[in-house]
């Protein structure tokens, strides 16, 4: 059976250019980028060229880019690093209820360290409105962390306006850009953020590598200590093949052209009675459709579609065997039942119109079938 992949927000396959860059760097420049000899210097050059390339594309300088072990680490480093670098006074952070666990769990660690956290709520379309953030800001707020695009709904947040509000109170602004950076053009100067996280495997780069933009002059306490790699912001021998491959993918992609396919899928699904599209009223990533199939279990839809050859995901997280409804959809005001009935479809560079039509057809059949099995079916 043909497999059709609609889970690019979980991970996207590495692009041919990224794989070539990875293999070439592994073979040609295997030296330790911190070694003084020629083999080390060749690795260093490959690493710095990757750094220049990514930094240039987001409109910033190479010294401001820290390579990390992925999106989670980039976000942990931003949230924990900024707050821990502040020695006295400011012990308050503002974030949102729809953040990725990489940010929420870091905030929970800070709470245990005595930092107070304010959580901004999204509106029903999944948008964190700047006024909602403004209302939570205090003179002692040290950091504001609001994601650029949500991984479940694809909703793009008004980060520039939130950053302006943060700056007015003297707080630093971080944004989790893991779903947007490398997929759509990003101008960090225009966005006005102090920190910005990206992760290689969400845009055609390899897993296990990411980057954090840290504006010149912003102090961060490292998470990993040891050598003085990455300007003493992240110890450990540099992952040169990973950085080179991530840079190759970053140069390559613009997912803007997926919007018509995304619209085609949303229209087909939304036309079914009992189906609604979450975040439909907001600006969204051009690849994401999150739909509620009222009356059926999202996990059951995922399994039914998997059996028909489609990889999709339910918004819910499976922790310790129990399926929890999505914290993002609950925060948007969906009932627990409707949150549990939701499925995320995320497209990528290889997705075709044929794939979308086949998915819409399969989802229609699976939904009707599961509804008939459901105990509430009348």
Ligand X SMILES: *Cc1c(COP(=O)(O)O)cnc(C)c1O
Write out the catalytic residue numbers.
Answer: 318
| Residues within window 99-128 making contact with ligand X, judged by CB under 6 A | 100, 102
Stretch that binds ligand X, among 28-36, 197-205, 227-235, 238-246 (CB under 6 A): 197-205
Q: Would you give the DSSP letter of residue 376?
A: T
178 binds ligand X (CB under 6 A): yes
Judged by CB under 6 A, does residue 166 bind ligand X? no
Other Cβ atoms less than 10 A from the Cβ of 303: the count is: 14
| CA atoms of 150 and 373, how far apart (whole Å) | 32
Q: How many Cβ atoms sit within 10 Å of the Cβ of residue 321?
A: 5
DSSP-assigned letters across all residues of 164-185? HHHHHHT-EEEEE-TTTBTTB-
Does 153 participate in binding ligand X (rule CB under 6 A)?
no
Which residue's CB atom is positioned nearest to ligand X? Answer: 71
Phi, psi of 289 (to 5 degrees): -130, 125
Least distance CB 116 / ligand X (angstroms) = 23
Classify residue 193 as exposed, middle or buried by CB count within 10 Å of its CB (0-12, 13-18, 19+): buried
In sequence order, what are the residues at sequence separation of 6 or more whose Cβ sits closer than 8 angstroms to the Cβ of residue 24?
244
The stretch near ligand X (CB under 6 A) out of 12-20, 171-179, 238-246, 256-264 is: 171-179
The region, left, alpha or beta by phi > 0 then psi within -120 to 50, assigned to residue 11 is beta
Position among 76, 95, 96, 179 found at the interface with ligand X (CB under 6 A): 179
- Closest approach of Cβ 180 to ligand X, in Å? 9
Q: Which of residues 37-96 bind ligand X (CB under 6 A)?
A: 70-72, 75
Instruction: Compute the least distance from the CB of residue 285 to ligand X, in Å.
Output: 10
The site that binds ligand X (CB under 6 A) totals a number of residues, namely 15
Q: Which residues contact 200 (CB under 8 A, 6 or more apart)?
A: 18, 70, 182, 206, 207, 208, 209, 210, 242, 245, 246, 249
Q: What's the rounded Cα separation, in Å, for the pair 57 and 55?
A: 5
SS3 (DSSP) at 370: helix
Among 154, 182, 199, 349, binds ligand X (CB under 6 A): 199
Q: Which residues of 233-251 are buried (b: 16+ CB within 10 A; e: fewer)?
A: bbeeebbbbbbbbbbbbbb
Binding of ligand X by 151 (CB under 6 A):
yes
Stretch that binds ligand X, among 88-96, 175-183, 219-227, 362-370 (CB under 6 A): 175-183
Residues near 223 by Cβ (< 8 Å), separated by ≥ 6?
73, 76, 77, 80, 81, 234
Whichever of 79 and 147 has its CB closer to ligand X, that residue is 147
| CB of 110 vs ligand X, minimal distance in Å | 17
**CB of 362: closest distance to ligand X in angstroms?**
25
- Nearest to ligand X of 51, 202 (CB atom): 202
Residue with smaller CB distance to ligand X, 133 or 360: 133
Q: How far is the CB of 208 from ligand X (least distance, A)?
A: 8
Q: Which is nearer to ligand X, 44 or 148 (CB)?
A: 148
> In DSSP terms, which residues pair with 291 in a beta bridge?
277, 343
Beta partners for 275? 293
Q: Tell me, residue by residue from 129 to 148, as one string, x for binding to ligand X by CB under 6 A and - for no binding.
A: ------------------x-
Task: Check residue 326 for interaction with ligand X (CB under 6 A).
Answer: no
Q: How far is the CB of 171 from ligand X (least distance, A)?
A: 21
Q: Return residues touching ligand X (CB under 6 A).
A: 70-72, 75, 100, 102, 147, 151, 176, 178-179, 199, 201-202, 210
């Amino acid at each position: 059976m043909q497999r059709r992949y609609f889970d690019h927000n979980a991970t996207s396959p590495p692009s041919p250019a990224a794989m070539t860059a990875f293999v070439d760097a592994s073979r040609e420049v295997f030296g330790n980028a911190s070694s003084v000899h020629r083999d080390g210097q060749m690795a260093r050059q490959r690493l710095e060229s990757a750094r220049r390339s990514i930094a240039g594309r987001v409109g910033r300088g190479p010294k401001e880019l820290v390579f990390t072990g992925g999106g989670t680490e980039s976000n942990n480093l931003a949230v924990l690093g900024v707050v821990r670098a502040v020695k006295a006074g400011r012990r308050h952070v503002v974030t949102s209820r729809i953040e990725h666990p990489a940010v929420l769990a870091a905030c929970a660690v800070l709470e245990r360290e005595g930092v107070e956290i304010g959580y901004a709520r999204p509106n029903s379309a999944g948008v964190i409105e700047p006024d909602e953030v403004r209302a939570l800001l205090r003179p002692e707020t040290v950091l504001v962390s609001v994601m650029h695009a949500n991984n479940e709904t694809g909703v793009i947040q008004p980060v520039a306006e939130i950053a302006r509000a943060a700056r007015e109170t003297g707080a630093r602004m971080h944004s989790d850009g893991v779903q947007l950076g490398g997929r759509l053009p990003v101008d960090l100067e225009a966005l006005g953020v102090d920190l910005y996280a990206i992760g290689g495997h969400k845009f055609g780069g390899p897993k296990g590598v990411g980057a954090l933009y840290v504006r010149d002059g912003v102090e961060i306490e490292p998470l990993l200590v040891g050598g003085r790699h990455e300007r003493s912001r992240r110890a450990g021998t540099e992952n040169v093949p990973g950085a080179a491959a991530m840079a190759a993918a970053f140069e390559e992609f613009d997912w803007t052209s997926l919007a018509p396919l995304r619209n085609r899928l949303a229209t087909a699904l939304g036309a079914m009675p009992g189906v609604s599209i979450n975040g439909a009223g907001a600006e969204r990533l051009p690849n994401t459709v999150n739909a509620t199939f009222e009356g059926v279990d999202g996990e059951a839809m995922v399994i039914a579609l998997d059996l028909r050859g489609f990889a999709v995901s339910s918004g819910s997280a499976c922790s310790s065997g129990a399926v929890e409804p999505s914290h993002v959809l609950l925060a948007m005001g969906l009932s627990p039942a409707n949150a549990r009935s939701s499925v995320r479809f995320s497209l990528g560079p290889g997705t075709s119109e044929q794939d979308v039509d086949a998915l819409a057809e399969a989802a229609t059949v699976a939904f009707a079938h599961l509804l008939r099995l459901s105990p509430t079916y009348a």
